[in-house]
Amino acid sequence: MAENHRELSEVIARAGRVAVLMGGHSAERDISLKSGQSVVDALIRAGVDARPLVWDSDLLGAINEHDPDRVFIALHGRGGEDGTVQGLLQLLDLPYTGSGVLGCALSMDKARSKQVWLSMGLATPDFQIAKRGAVIGGAFDNPVLPVIVKPANEGSSLGVSLVSERAELESAIEHAFEFDDVILIEQWIRGGEYTMGIVDGKPLPIIKLETPHAFYDYEAKYVADTTRYLCPCGLIDSAIERCTELCLEAFDALGASGWGRVDFMMDDDARPWLIELNTVPGMTDHSLVPMGAAAAGIDFEELVVRILATSMDER
């Protein structure tokens, strides 16, 4: 423990001026603002010279005005989680938290992330890609229901629908297209929903998600008080070990680094199925990485400092 405190104190001493980048123009802007302010407050409590940097319009001008030594990225969704901001910061030679351009771009694109996982033999549910204006054919002309319909490049379950009846499919597809030009029609795995945070390349305890909703949707994530977060997750030790290994492999396969969160399902035969990787997970009072960290004995201030330390890694 003493060694860990010494390492954290070194991170704080080296941090300099930290801009916590939040806001942006994605559909997840409001969540980003909440995450970012939580991070700012925690960093200040930890002794870091941190200040909010809200992305409204002129991001480059705002960065120059703040003149930070490093950036803590608290952006969610397109623009901030897809490699765009990461590329800008690299061109500016500004250290930043989390994954680089490739890891963010691959992880944000759910279709390509699943294609990479499949190429490496990592289990992920069957799916079909549909593009706006194209005819949707193949196996999903008459899909084996239920399926989940989702935008390929969106987060926080925005635009996502669980379809159990054939008559519901067209409206679910139209809803997903409101958020993206490319969508996924993915086989729904009947079973439990789980998630595992990763910080500094190390796994946090797995959390099982239970909700009276059809699935862990936007309301269950950010609004409802009926969602249950089970940690310990209830899996036997061998299953936890297998799922942890799968999540770490999935993280590495997409070129992710620093920190993130892998979501997966466990079917009725106790087989895990990868769903997606978030490279900038939420940091609100409803967020999962802080819950997993707390279960591992890591308070919120320590967690944000550990994430800040990822900005000091060599890229």
- Which run of H or of E encompasses 309? helix 300-309
Nearest Cα to Cα of residue 126 among 134, 135, 138: 138
Q: How far is CA 126 from CA 41, 121, 144, 145, 242, in A?
A: 42, 13, 11, 12, 21
Q: How far is CA 183 from CA 138, 146, 156, 177, in A?
A: 15, 16, 15, 7
From the candidates 38, 103, 263, 292, which is the catalytic residue?
A: 263
Is-catalytic flag, 216? no
Q: Which two tokens stand for residue 95?
A: 């250290």
Q: How far apart are CA 235 and CA 253, in angstroms?
A: 25
Is-catalytic flag, 261? yes
From the candidates 24, 28, 70, 153, which is the catalytic residue?
A: 28
Is-catalytic flag, 282? yes
From the candidates 96, 194, 218, 222, which is the catalytic residue?
A: 222
From the candidates 282, 287, 292, 311, which is the catalytic residue?
A: 282
From the candidates 154, 276, 287, 292, which is the catalytic residue?
A: 276
From the candidates 38, 157, 278, 311, which is the catalytic residue?
A: 278
Is-catalytic flag, 276? yes
Is-catalytic flag, 28? yes
Is-catalytic flag, 263? yes
Q: How far apart are the first and last CA of the chain?
A: 28
The one-character DSSP state at 190 is P
SS (HEC) of 29-40: HHHHHHHHHHHH
Catalytic residues: 28, 156, 222, 261, 263, 276, 278, 282
